[in-house]
Amino acid sequence: MLMLKKIEISRLLSGSVVYLFSNILAAAIPFALLPILTRYLTPAEYGQVAIFQTLLAGLGAVIGISAQGAAGVKYYDEHLSKPELKYFIGNCFLVLTATTAVALLLAVIFRQQISGWLALDTQWLLLSVVVSSATFVVTMRTGQWQVRKEAKKYGAFQVSQSLINMLLSLLLVVYFLQGASGRIWVLCLIPLAYAVIALFLLHKDDLLGFAWRPAYLREIFTFGVPLIPHSVGFFLISSVDRFVINDKLGLEQVGVYMVAVQLVSAMGLVFDAINNAYVPWLFERLKRNQIEEKRQIVRWTYVYCIALLGVVGIAFAIGPPLLILIAGEKYSEASNVIGWLALGQAFSGMYLMVTNDIFYSKRTGLLSLSTITSGMINVGLLMVLISFFGLQGAAIALAISMGIKFLLTWLVAQFRYPMPWFDFRSTV
């Protein structure tokens, strides 16, 4: 039994190392770009790029209604044969087509109002819908690799995207001096190209079949619709601050803020890498439903959360001088927010450790309630704290909201899939 556990732990660590290594490589490329872009783009131009990226995040919350997540969970369905899985994925693409069409129609109708509010050209607004749809396709492909524990393929796909992203950005922003528009074109072209590749690979692996399955559509909507408020709430926490800063402080301050956000995002990439390896490992144990394994999961989660708080302390200490060194003096104001942003990222990492239980239960309704609640709290805090503390107020609001989201999600997870959080008996 002990030997079996050691083998299982070894597999988890092996998968984590591959995901972590690929995420570090993928993250190293944008970080290599950061000191270049901050010297070739003004804070206002950097802010324009940030607004476009935020728009993509917002559209990603609703386009496809998280159907790729439903396909990932469906893989573990014992009653579903492999030939039928491809039809389930095909129905996910039907949902994607419908939601993309609705989003594109609304973007066309309200393009003038939205473009004026976001300070973006209408071409970027319309392209953002198509790019969000392409991102869904890429996520479907990588998600199916993840559940099959094919970490190397996942990593190769991710790293190659970032590498081409860097090369095109250098070409358009540095060599051709295209400014913000050059960077935004890169953010559009890469997902579109990789979506084509992802579709080809899904077809090649016989994971893409189209047949009308009303039962599958109902299952996709049952999984995804309750998650729409969750996705919207997540957007309100993680991205809406850019819009509020733009409205209250101006586009230049958005650019300054986003430099700190991008630097701290390295923490999120590490957390995602760990979670990508952790999810298949966790679901297998939840499926076995053994109390000893559940105690082990709980104990590791506590250790992980304590370690994250230690990382936050380091970020408060060395983050400000590191940011100025990387981005330059014209972005020095961002050093005041980096510690608080790191605290928010730490709470996000803790959140990932408890939200998986809810997804495994397939009862995601209350998750949406907790996320939308913390998202609305974040909007309220932003309005107040930015008025008093400027950019630092936005970061403090994020940290508080992320902490609330983690605690609420923990409560929901215990209600939907109880775990022995207060059972401290050791296991061998």
Q: What is the pLDDT of residues 27-41, one digit of tens each?
A: 667 777 888 888 898
**Mean pLDDT within 82-111:** 92
Number of helices (H) and strands (E) in the chain: give both, helices first. 16, 0
Q: Name the one residue in this structure whose structure tokens are 């190392």.
A: 17
Q: What is the mean pLDDT of the chain?
A: 86
- The pLDDT > 70 percentage for the chain reads 91
Q: Is the pLDDT of residue 10 over 80?
A: no
User: The whole model's pTM is what?
Assistant: 0.76
Residue 357 phi, psi (nearest 5): -60, -40
Query: Is residue 180 within 8 Å of residue 49, measured between CB atoms?
Result: yes
pLDDT value at 12 more than 60? no
Q: How far from chain centre, in Å, is Cα 37?
A: 23
**Would you say residue 428 has pLDDT above 60?**
no
Mean pLDDT of 152-167: 88
Output the pLDDT for position 289: 83
Residue 410: per-residue pLDDT: 92
d(CA 119, CA 79): 50
Closest CA to 217 of 74, 118, 328: 74
| DSSP state at residue 150 | -
